Amino acid sequence: MAKIKLEYIWLDGHFPTQNMRSKTKVEEHENFKGTIEELGNWSFDGSSTEQASGGASDCILKPVAIYKDPARRNGFLVMSEVLSADGTPHPTNHRAKIDDDDGDFWFGFEQEYFLMDAKTDLPLGFPRGGFPGPQGQYYCSVGGRYTWGRDFVEEHADLCIDAGLNFEGINQEVAPGQWEFQLFAQGAKKAGDEIWVARYLLDRLTEKYGYYIEYHPKPVKGDWNGSGMHANFSNTTLRTCGSEETYNKICEAFRPVTDEHMDVYGEFNDERLTGLHETAHVSDFSYGVSDRGASIRIPIITVEKGWKGWLEDRRPASNGDPYKIAGRIIKTVKSANIS
């Protein structure tokens, strides 16, 4: 029998931006294979996470995805849904609300963030009492003059890959200390699981470096890019239709529900979506081929492949919940009533 460490990860009840919580369960297993079927539910004190009252505080953790923990010996990361004591999905459990049980929707999320120095509360590359040079030299840069935090970012990428996440890339972003990573998954729930686990590894790694991650979509005011989490999505129709008309009809389905999307695309997103810095205005809706100033970009590759591919919703904020974002996108795409 071997002892293994199971790090149960869940989302708390803070509104509108939920936080990650986690705790470790040590169990003895013989020939543990790292599958969900080998795990049991667990409980936690919901009164300490704004998910229950003190008089009836137990909430249930239901494992939904498991990954190897590359930083711990005999360790595993267990992404969990929160259930109420009666076994039904807790109101804060937005994963359970996603209408994609057949995994027809594929999502690729581009997670931007600022890497912050915990001693100065400034992004890496920002001097005390001032600002670095203007934007233009930092995006995808190389060299110590314009690049900060690469050791950290590379270590995070290795952790994600070693954990078994479908990690697809990294790049420095437009502002100093701003980075991005990308993940892709077939199935909306799986895509959300992988973003949250990647965020967990990102946040935990900061403890070693003396940094912290700023997910606010506009942490540096003024003429600096904000941070988003662009959502690339497709379903069978988008991947196979071969029809510009169909793409336009699906995009138009987003127009009348702009406010509903903004409600779940992240707190303070209006500070980022100003119509500047490669964004559409928060109150507008637009779409176009290769248009990074539109709400939804139709990738040129999709057009070149005969209108077979995917769409990119550029509006979600860096602090958005991928479960909420995916759930809302799926609902809107399905409302177009295209089979």
What value does the mean pLDDT take over residues 76-80?
98
Q: Does 61 lie in the same domain as 179?
A: no
What value does the mean pLDDT take over residues 103-111?
98
Helix (H, G, I), strand (E, B) or coil at 184: strand
pLDDT at 55: 84
Q: Does 143 lie in the same domain as 89?
A: no
What value does the mean pLDDT take over residues 115-144?
92
Rounded CA-CA distance 49/92 in Å is: 11
The CATH number given to whatever domain includes residue 287 is: 3.30.590.10
Q: Quick check: is 98 in a domain?
A: no
Q: Residues 216-225: pLDDT tens digits?
A: 999 998 889 9
Q: Residues 6-58: pLDDT tens digits?
A: 999 999 999 999 999 999 999 999 999 999 999 999 999 999 999 999 888 99
Q: Per mean pLDDT, which range of 58-62, 93-97, 182-186, 273-277 is the poorest?
A: 273-277
DSSP-assigned letter for residue 53: B
What value does the mean pLDDT take over residues 175-193?
97
Question: Of the candidates 78, 80, 109, which has an alpha carbon nearest to the alpha carbon of residue 92?
Answer: 80
Q: Does 110 lie in the same domain as 84?
A: no
pLDDT at 222: 87
Q: Which two tokens stand for residue 189?
A: 């729930």
Q: Quick check: is 284 in a domain?
A: yes
pTM of the model: 0.97
Q: Does 34 lie in the same domain as 172?
A: no
Q: Does 196 lie in the same domain as 71?
A: no
pLDDT at 339 over 80: no
Q: Does 23 lie in the same domain as 148?
A: no
Q: Quick check: is 317 in a domain?
A: yes
Orientation angle between helical segments 188-209 and 150-163, nearest 10 degrees: 140
Q: Residues 247-305: pLDDT tens digits?
A: 999 999 999 999 999 999 999 999 999 988 789 999 999 999 999 999 999 999 999 99
Using CA atoms, how far residue 106 sits from 168, 226, 241, in Å, is 14, 25, 16
Torsions phi, psi of 55, nearest 5? -80, -15
Using CA atoms, how far residue 90 sits from 10, 93, 187, 189, 273, in Å, is 12, 5, 22, 16, 31
DSSP-assigned letter for residue 219: -
Q: Report residue 131's pLDDT band, with 50, 70 and 90 as the boundaries.
A: confident
Which element (helix H / strand E) includes 259?
helix 258-264
Q: Does 146 lie in the same domain as 37?
A: no
Orientation angle between helical segments 322-335 and 244-254, nearest 10 degrees: 120
Cis peptide before 16 (omega within 30 of 0): yes
E strand residue ranges, the chain: 2-11, 20-29, 42-45, 58-68, 75-83, 106-117, 122-123, 167-172, 178-186, 211-214, 229-234, 287-289, 296-298, 311-313
Q: Report residue 338's pLDDT band, with 50, 70 and 90 as the boundaries.
A: confident
pLDDT at 142: 96
Domain boundary among 93, 126, 150: 93
Q: Does 300 lie in the same domain as 157?
A: yes
Q: Report residue 124's pLDDT band, with 50, 70 and 90 as the boundaries.
A: very high
Q: Quick check: is 313 in a domain?
A: yes
Rounded CA-CA distance 150/177 in Å is: 9
307 contacts 247 by C-beta, under 8 angstroms: yes
Output the average pLDDT for the chain.
96
Rounded CA-CA distance 333/141 in Å is: 37
pLDDT at 56: 86
Q: Does 151 lie in the same domain as 228?
A: yes
Q: Which two tokens stand for residue 88?
A: 């039904």
What value does the mean pLDDT take over residues 228-256?
98
pLDDT at 287: 97
User: How many whole angstroms from its chain centre is CA 259?
Assistant: 20
Q: Quick check: is 99 in a domain?
A: no
The β-bridge relationship of strands 296-298 and 311-313 is: antiparallel
Q: Quick check: is 100 in a domain?
A: no
Q: Does 71 lie in the same domain as 135?
A: no
DSSP-assigned letter for residue 164: T
pLDDT at 137: 94
The count of domains in the chain is 2
Question: Of the candidates 22, 5, 1, 18, which has an alpha carbon nearest to the alpha carbon of residue 200?
Answer: 22
The CATH number given to whatever domain includes residue 50 is: 3.10.20.70
Q: Residues 146-164: pLDDT tens digits?
A: 999 999 999 999 999 999 9
Q: Does 73 lie in the same domain as 21?
A: yes
Structural domain that includes position 259: 106-335
Q: Does 121 lie in the same domain as 74?
A: no
Rounded CA-CA distance 311/238 in Å is: 8
